[in-house]
Structure 1
Amino acid sequence: MPEAPEVDALAHFLSERLSGRAVTGVELVEGRAWKTRARPLDEIVGRTVTAVTRHGKHIDLDFDGVHLGIGFGRAGWATWSAAGEPEEDAAPGAAVIARIAFDNGILGITDAGEWLSVQLHVVDAADEVPSVAKLGPDAADPRYSRDMLAAALGRRRKQLKALLQEQETLAGVGNAYSDEILFAARLAPTAHASALSEDDITRLHHALHDTLAAAVLARRGVPIAEQKAAKVASMRVHGRTGEPCPDCGGVIEDIPGTKGGGQWCPSCQTLPASD
């Protein structure tokens, strides 16, 4: 799943290549991804890109007031083929959902999931996309403060891993970075938000900020075809089941109840005293 650092890098990549460029043609390969039936994709043909922005794990292409919203879902991503070059292949196992041709290349939208999760919308403003409208504060925003995190946690009896992935509470964090953030904070993913002490909240805020800030910087400039590999290589605990913990040497394990979808170090990450 692409998360804020990868989608941020993609937004910058596309902004550099598409700003001021006109759409010359479109192809919707998978109609189920199209969510604004009354507004066809070819509404953007002939229009010029004036801005590319990220909203959580979504990208918005602004064509001078007509917006194409792209939600990558669980396994969506993009390809870019410069004009005059062979079309870039989708990642192994991925299907092409749509192609958008510009005067300098082709943007492909892909999905590698077992079920389709990419969503495409043509709207008049980015927040007219329902999933964008309900997003909480952006997790990768340097202005996201400790007080904002404390307010989001409240006294909720919800496990931290699930809460960090709740886009209405905190936009941009998914499965992988939630594991990395909680490892850095030394907090068990099964701990409840309501059990955190003031020190725990401070530590979690530092981990959230430092983990995402480092990842955003690390992903910038990485070719979009290599983003997934770069993300996987950077993980300290996520996807490392059975490997030694990079800090204590203990064994990385699957988080109970995740069916292998999340990982932690039981030796390093503890439950709050009141949980």
Structure 2
Amino acid sequence: MKLSKKFTALALALTVGTSAFAIDGTEIMTKVFDRQKPDFSKAAVQLTLAKNGKVEETRNVGEYGRCKNNLSDVVMIFLSPASVKDTRFLQKENDGKDDDKWIYLPSLKSTRRVAASDGSKSFVGTDFSYDDMSTREVADDTHELIKESEDKGNFKDLYVVKSTPKDPKSSQYQYRISYITKDAWIPTYIELYDKKGKLMKVNEIKRIDKMPGANGRVYNVPMENVMTNVQTGHSSTIKMVNVELDKPLSDRYFTTDFLSSGK
């Protein structure tokens, strides 16, 4: 009888222990998608292009962000060098469908919508594609939890999730593998595999800072993000030089009129 009680107690302990840590890939990616974002953000950004570690060009960019009804909008204004100066980009997140994107090209003095068919194209000559700039809907992919704990890059004890498009035509990648922090729910390392199943690109966050917003909330902010095309040896590094959070911004920034005029 004593043995039976011990067995029952052990079985219960194991069950409780397992359920305390049980989470699946879809739950993890939902937490990533729903993590708290600032209502507004303003940042000075340094964008560096390099080939096999040798710097080719450094760009200075202004970035404005807004999160309204849990949907994020972002504007990027290229300030230098002259080859990209006054290029402006606007992305507006939609609920349940592809984001809307527009780009103003000063050489053409016109704003054009970025078509969904252009999603795999390079974003202003960087290693990020237009689709890389967006966050995919959780429901667009199947998500498999591969490991509950793995160290990668500058971060430890990460969830590892494999995400595969339900519709292969909806993504330029066959699948992606994300390494995700358990406290901030941020993918700090993402492996992107091409249609042949070969590793194509790696998107790595090098540093995350805790930053207070003007409203008193504290956010986890990725401060350095490197996208590397492992097939070509080319990389694009985004560094946040100065960040302001939750200081209200005019709605005017997030319009195509602002793209065209810059004011």
- Pair member with larger Rg: 2
Q: Report which of the two has the higher share of strand.
A: 2
TM over 0.5: no
- Which TM-score band applies after superposition, normalised by the shorter structure? under 0.3
Structure with the largest fraction of helix: 1
